[in-house]
A and B are shown apart, each in its own frame.
Chain A
Amino acid sequence: MIRSASKNAAARRESVLAMILILIGSLTVFVPIAYLVSDSLSSRETLRQQPKPLLPSESYVVTIDGAQCFVYDIEVNGQSRKLAVVEKKGSTWVYANPDDPAERYELGACSVEQRARKITLHWENFGLALQKAPFLRYVANTLVIMVLVTIGTVLSTVMVAFGFARFKFKGSKTLFLILLATMMLPSQVVLIPTFVFFKWIGWYDTFLPLIVPAFFANAWDVFLIRQFFMGIPKELDEAAKIDGCDPLRTLWSVILPQALPVVLTVTLFTMIYVWNDFFNPLIYLQNPKLFTVAVGLQNFSALYFNNAHLQAAGALMMMLPPVLIFFLAQRYFIQGTVVSGVKG
């Protein structure tokens, strides 16, 4: 009895310690994103403060007697007040109460750091970023590529996965091993001839080199879907065969309805891959009108190097769609990653 009580206490201590470490660790995820959000709502001036405030705040002016006067945090008779400077007489400044300009004080000068700040959110940064670069066009380009790549990937990988899951013939094992080996192949080794080939047939600076290869099945998704198909009882196939279904029909009306989760996983992974892919659009697209979001954002960040607030606004807009999709469908992502990692 006593022993199990002390064991429980130890387990509880362990779990509290784990929780503390997890909370600290999660800060490393939250803080960078919080700063991205904060930067995207800041003015350029706010970003030049050390430490940069997480809530964007700025000094502000009030109008007194037709003049713009900065408001300062200043101590008057032991009380902290917000007063506007209406006149500077050398080292003596004249301060006025913004709510009652007749209430004036003559006190010592203040430094810029003593200016009062209030929270100011620059929502217009998003509009400005959209104006400075055609992000909506980039989004449209990316969506066109994404839809076609997703269709191609799903069609081809489902077919090939079915072929590997259900047909055994001489050499089928070797072919599957070759498929697995291509997962390990560094893509650079095929990159240059593929590029030369696409350029040669006139597809350079079009979407085609980004879309067409998707119709030829990639090893990762084939493997993922095949694993799923292997788990579907073969008796279902045989029953369909007795009913006179050919394999294509069996795939379509018996296997696929069972395999919707894995098809959804592949669809989601593909969509996010296309949205985030930087390297392929970078080498195949030259005309800025054809840029995808990733290339467009990178280009924008190089052009507006000194506008960190606009870069943050652009980056946030680009980050939101995949993150939202991820949160809505996270269990499909996690299952997909697990199958390719653990069973692989």
Chain B
Amino acid sequence: MARASSSHKSKDLGWALFFLSPWLLGFVLFTAGPMIASLVFSFSDLNLIKGQFHFIGLDNYIRLFAADPKFLGALTVTFAYALIAIPLTLVVGFLLACLLNTKVPGADFWRTIFYMPSVVSGVVVALIWRGLFNEKFGLINWLLGLAGIVGPDWFNDGRGALSALIIISLWSVGGGMIIYLAGLQGIQTQLYEAAELDGCGPIQKFTRITIPMMTPVIFFNLIMGIISCFQYFTEPWTLTRGGPAEATQFYNIYIYKTAFSYQDMGYGSALAWILFFIVLGLSALVIRSSGSWVHYETEEKA
């Protein structure tokens, strides 16, 4: 009896491994293996053009912090962008979701419209906005002109280029909005009814119920926002190639230039590992702090 059940179990395990095999293989081949390899590369001077591969110890990491202003520049650009773009898209996406959740006519239609830019390729997004931001003939400088402001030559001006990219990022808030909207629709109406009986006004309902109930979703979008800032590539690459004077040289653009334009794979790997630790650190920080501000419904029941 015991034997039969154990052979049954091992048969089940066999099936489980069979079904999981694509991912297990993929994990070894395309995740764990390359991660170890890139760690090893980061201690080397691997360069595919020069055809060299020597271990050079910590030299890449020393160069990063001691002798590479471009690395610090890329970090500064990425953080400056992240510090403005992440909160901005978070707030705008959230408010848009709240608006669509007010039982306005055609809410489904508007939801579709606001989500639509999220399915447009970054290259197309960049080309659309390049026209609108044109110094002489673009809509944006014309509108600014109506208000008596002389608009800059956006993509040939350091601060202008970064600001323009932040504005462009707002065009794709629809993806986050959809998630917030689903979260809002999941909040039980009894909560609001109980609050109304207790005499809460709309602002109190928003700050005491809506926001606390939405913190898990905000938390998810915050972490995804941090990760995507460090992956940001297509729009700045199409619009500025990282210029002018490296004012939009995002971290990922610097990795691309190092590893693929100059084929400096060793140094590129060191850059990638630093990025990995930054993202890990920031995520850990958010997860850690989340205990004090993220509210999970199940905790209440326990």
Contacts and interface: CB of A to CB of B under 8 A. Distances in A.
Given A156-B22, A311-B127, A334-B178, A192 B15 contact: no
B168 to A, nearest CB: 9
A35 B131 contact: yes
Given A192-B268, A217-B23, A338 B179 contact: yes
Contacts of A323: 116, 119-120
A323 to B, nearest CB: 6
Nearest to A344: B220
Given A21-B99, A192-B38, A294 B121 contact: yes
Given A52-B139, A182-B27, A186-B279, A279 B34 contact: no
A51 B221 CA distance: 38
A19 B106 CA distance: 10
B217 A341 contact: yes
B272 A31 contact: no
B136 interface: yes
A323 B174 CA distance: 14
Interface string A6-42: 0000000011001101100110111111011001000
A63 B268 CA distance: 65
Nearest to A314: B127
A334 B30 CA distance: 29
Contacts of B9: 169
Contacts of B128: 32-33, 35-36, 315
A216 interface: yes
Contacts of B102: 14-15, 18
B183 interface: yes
Contacts of B255: 188, 191
Interface stretch (A65-73, A80-88, A115-123, A172-180): A172-180
Given A318-B121, A322-B119, A327-B112, A189 B35 contact: yes
Given A21-B99, A32-B129, A338 B121 contact: no
Contact of A333 (B104, B115, B138): B115
A196 B265 contact: yes
A189 B276 contact: yes
A338 B179 CA distance: 5
A259 B88 CA distance: 37
Interface string B9-44: 100110110111111111101110111011001000
Contact of B223 (A184, A195, A308): A184
A297 B220 CA distance: 33
A319 B129 CA distance: 14
A29 B175 CA distance: 13
A247 B15 CA distance: 7
A247 B19 CA distance: 9
A113 to B, nearest CB: 15
Interface in B24-72: 24-27, 29-31, 33-35, 37-38, 41, 46, 48
A92 to B, nearest CB: 33
B35 A190 contact: yes
Given A22-B110, A39-B131, A159 B38 contact: no
Interface in A290-344: 293-294, 297-298, 301, 308, 311-312, 314-315, 318-319, 322-323, 325-327, 330, 333-334, 337-338, 341-342, 344
Contacts of A25: 96, 99, 114
Contacts of A163: 16, 18-20, 23
A2 interface: no
A111 interface: no
B24 to A, nearest CB: 8
B113 interface: yes
Interface size on B, as a range, is 35 or more
A28 B287 CA distance: 34
Contacts of A333: 115, 119
Looking at A26, A197, A215, A217, which has the most chain B CB atoms within 10 Å of its CB?
A: A217
A64 B243 CA distance: 52
B238 interface: yes
Contact of A188 (B15, B123, B272): B272
Contact of A167 (B16, B22, B268, B272): B16
B291 interface: no
A153 B13 CA distance: 24
A167 B19 contact: yes
A95 interface: no
Interface string A254-285: 00000000000000000010011011000100
A3 to B, nearest CB: 12
Contact of B132 (A18, A35, A197, A337): A35
B137 A47 contact: yes
Contacts of B166: none
A253 B112 CA distance: 34
B84 interface: no
Interface string B220-259: 1101000100110110011000000000000010011001
B185 to A, nearest CB: 9
B23 A341 contact: no
Interface in B125-143: 127-132, 134, 136-139, 142
B99 A294 contact: no
B29 A216 contact: yes
A308 B40 CA distance: 46
- 7 closest pairs, A vs B, by CB? A216-B26, A163-B19, A341-B179, A193-B37, A167-B16, A276-B121, A190-B34
25 contacts: A15-B104, A18-B99, A31-B139, A47-B137, A48-B136, A52-B137, A159-B19, A162-B19, A167-B20, A169-B16, A188-B231, A190-B34, A192-B268, A194-B34, A248-B18, A294-B234, A311-B127, A315-B127, A315-B128, A319-B121, A323-B120, A327-B112, A327-B116, A337-B179, A341-B179
Given A169-B13, A334-B112, 10 more contacts: A29-B171, A184-B223, A188-B231, A188-B272, A248-B18, A278-B237, A298-B238, A312-B131, A319-B121, A337-B179
